Amino acid sequence: MMNLHYTVKGQTVTLTSDQGALILTVLTDQIIRVFQDRGRHTNSYAIEGEKKVETPFDLKEVGDHLELSTGQLTVTVGPDLLLDVFDAQGNPLILDYRGKRRPIAKTIDAAHQSIMRAEGHEVSGVSQTEDRYYQVVKALDPDEQFYGLGDKTGYLNKRSYHYDNWNYDEPRPHIETFTNLYKSIPVLFGLKKGRPWGIFFDNTYRSHLDLGRENADYYFYSAVDGNLDYYILGGSSLKEVVSNYTYLTGRVPLPQRWMLGYQQSRWGYSMSQDRVEQIVDTFAKYHLPLEAIHFDIDYMDGYRVFTWNKNIFKDPAGFLADVKKRGVRVIPILDPGVKEDPDYRIYQEGLDKGYFATNPDGSVYVNRVWPGKSVFPDFGRPEVRDWWAGHCRFLVDSGAAGIWTDMNEPAVFDGEIPEDTVFSDEDQKSDLARMNNVYGHNMAKATYQGLKKATGRRPYVITRAAYAGTQKYSTVWTGDNQSLWPHLQMSIPQLCNMGMSGFSFAGADIGGFSADTTPELLTRWIEAAIFSPLLRNHSALQARDQEPWVFGPKVLDIYRHFLHLRYHFIPYLYDCFAKQMNDGLPVMRPLVLNYPEDARTRNLNDEYMVGDQVLVAPVVEQGQVSRMVYLPEGDWVDLRTMVTYGGHRDILVEAPLDQLPVFVRADSVLPWGRLVEHMDDQPEESMTFRLFGQHGDYTHYQDDGYSFDYEQGAYNLYQIHMENQGQCSVTVTHHGFKPVYRRIRLVLPERTLTLSLDDKSQAPVYRETEA
């Protein structure tokens, strides 16, 4: 007889024993929520909307255990409330650990409490925190790998690392041993003997993950507060597990097409109009594509948000309009800190409405950032987000094409913000301990909503701080990296894990933000990053200039060549973004996501895939002019030479400074964009497709490139079929966007065809014409 009792209500099973209660909720046949109420607020910032779908499941008593099975996942729970998870074939995926382990100290002894009090620390709440502290310990298989967790430092495979989830602005050069940076994305993907699984820990309090560092027999998650709340993610493939996670937390909305183009930034550009004009004109002089220039904090009046420094920009709207006429958009920065100034409208308005975070005694919390003494919007409240969103129109009316949000961990200058500082959790009062990790998320959400309302277009928001689900509102970058070769190297696994963690639209500062780049480093960085979704060169005020031309004609020519390559691939990148809205898979991804059964891909840190068809193997070592490239199964075509190589092996390729090894999966069809210096909103009249191999099929997406009309079906889908020596065809399988291509060019290895739109046909039909 079971010493475990349970009740069933709909798709929720509540289990009770003398160990307490545990709640299992079946969301889908591959997603199961595990919840234990510890008396904290239960709303999720990562998961919005109803995710539960009607799913049949079976319950069976097996000895003293209860077994819940959906057909895809089986969860067994015993009277000790420990649980195990198995796949559809009965293979173990996630097992609670039952062996002995070194305990984690949960208390502070009296002597150390006395020392802490003497230094001014508050320790009266230690026992309360201890009471709510919990750990989830899982058995670790000798052949188990870990991925995800956002942009944590270190290698791609996170086994043997340990990390903290606590958003923090770390000014020192980021190194492998750092446990936390700007983002907290507590999703973990695993391969246990090649079998995939995932866990999403939805807790915004400070938490810790140890992935076999403490002991090779187990991994564990712990949190200082909050409910026990995590989601088991199953799937027949690693792709399907990632897709289930993005179903849960949301997928990246389709960006405007120009956002995939090249962008230039530097702290200091906005210190004078002349400097901005000089940068824009020099890009034009050297025929370098440029979509946007970013303004750091100097454009503001004394670093006051939602202002312009009129000593620099006497007519901001006129100046930005003039820059736009040259084909370049402006993206200004916003920080959360609002200057404490009774003559400053934003401050006084927020103060009058009670919109700023407070101390426990009710007084407004003040700390120093760029403007000096500043206060901080309480973004956890919907009305504060609406207030901030409304003020975003000020920048839109000035001509801003997007907003870059920074310092939103939140970062301050005078020590850290006390964790008992009062921040709201929607309709409840809470504190920084609960809200720190979603402060940047809520600021990005407010900014997104403000831009969407003000423009009607797909918003362009960039945020440094984020939580799981922020991908619905903002692109991200990896923060203040350095002009160091190890930072170039680390950017690849960082961006690959960000992609697997839901953030398809991400990038790193090309050339490095701080310190001085070199000609070789800048060149190798633009090569390595040329397929990253966010393509931005950004540097600090004190760093040397790192525009493409500063190191002479050789670097300039190489830089221009790779920007041209980027623009050829923008239609493919745009197709990848359209596809990920349906499957949730990242644009830039590690090889292990596509080839998890191949053990060689599981620890590959210096190669990445773009979608399913392009493999990039950049040079990331100083002085290297050739490198080994691992090609997974199948045949691969070298984009530079069109030579085909068999896969599942290493090849040695030449890679002098001006070359980037790129391989296309054989029998792929890829769209090939035309070269432009700026993208506009005008629909393309023609498109080129290239065949790599002897035959292939491809689905191409087209819409207006900027509006939300695609949500009502205003897009076209083209099915491309190409055979080198046989029949080629183009079929429009969905026609919701009125302007279709007038001409389609098919480039095959041994011939080129031109198809033209048949104006006599009522539906879009293409027929071969003279080239």
Q: Which residues are catalytic?
A: 406, 409, 480
**Contacts with 440 (C-beta within 8 Å, 6 or more apart), sequence order:** 167, 182, 183, 405, 408, 409, 410, 463, 464, 465, 466, 467, 470
Q: What is the largest CA-CA distance in the chain?
A: 90
Dihedral sign for Cα atoms in the order 409, 412, 417, 422: negative
Q: 744 near 765, Cβ under 8 Å?
A: no
Tell me how far the alpha carbon of residue 643 is from its chain's centroid: 34
What residues contact residue 403 under an 8 Å CB cut-off, 6+ apart? Answer: 331, 332, 333, 334, 392, 395, 447, 451, 460, 461, 462
* Residue appearing with tokens 């849960």: 248
CA 567, 571, 576 angle in degrees (round to 5)? 120
Which DSSP symbol is given to 250? -
Q: Are 280 and 293 in contact, with CB atoms under 8 Å apart? A: yes
Cα dist from 168 to 251, 461, 483, 493, 514, whole Å: 25, 20, 21, 20, 18
Residue 564 three-state SS = helix
Compute the distance between CA of residue 211 and CA of residue 199 in angstroms, rounded to an integer: 13
Q: How many CB atoms lie within 10 A of CB 37?
A: 13
DSSP string, 482-517: BS-HHHHHHHHHHHHHHHHTT--SEE--BT-SBS--
Rounded Cα–Cα distance for residues 663 and 648 (Å):
14
Report how far residue 135's alpha carbon sits from residue 214's, in angstroms, rounded to the nearest whole number: 14
Q: CA–CA separation, 469 vs 35, rounded Å? A: 19
Of residues 186, 189, 185, the one with CA closest to residue 241: 189
40 is written with which tokens?
């904290």
- The DSSP line for 422-441 is EEEETTEEEEHHHHHHHHHH
DSSP one-letter string for 308-355: --TTT-SSHHHHHHHHHHTT-EEEEEE-S-EE--TT-HHHHHHHHHT-
Pairing mode, if any, of strands 144-148 and 187-192?
antiparallel
* Local structure of 138: helix, strand or coil: strand
DSSP reduced 3-state for 640: coil
Question: Is the omega angle on the peptide bond into residue 410 within 30 degrees of 0, that is, cis?
Answer: yes
d(CA 688, CA 672): 5
Chain-centroid distance of CA 234 in Å reads 21
Query: How far, in Å, are 273, 496, 601, 616, 644 from residue 604 at the CA level?
Result: 45, 11, 5, 12, 22
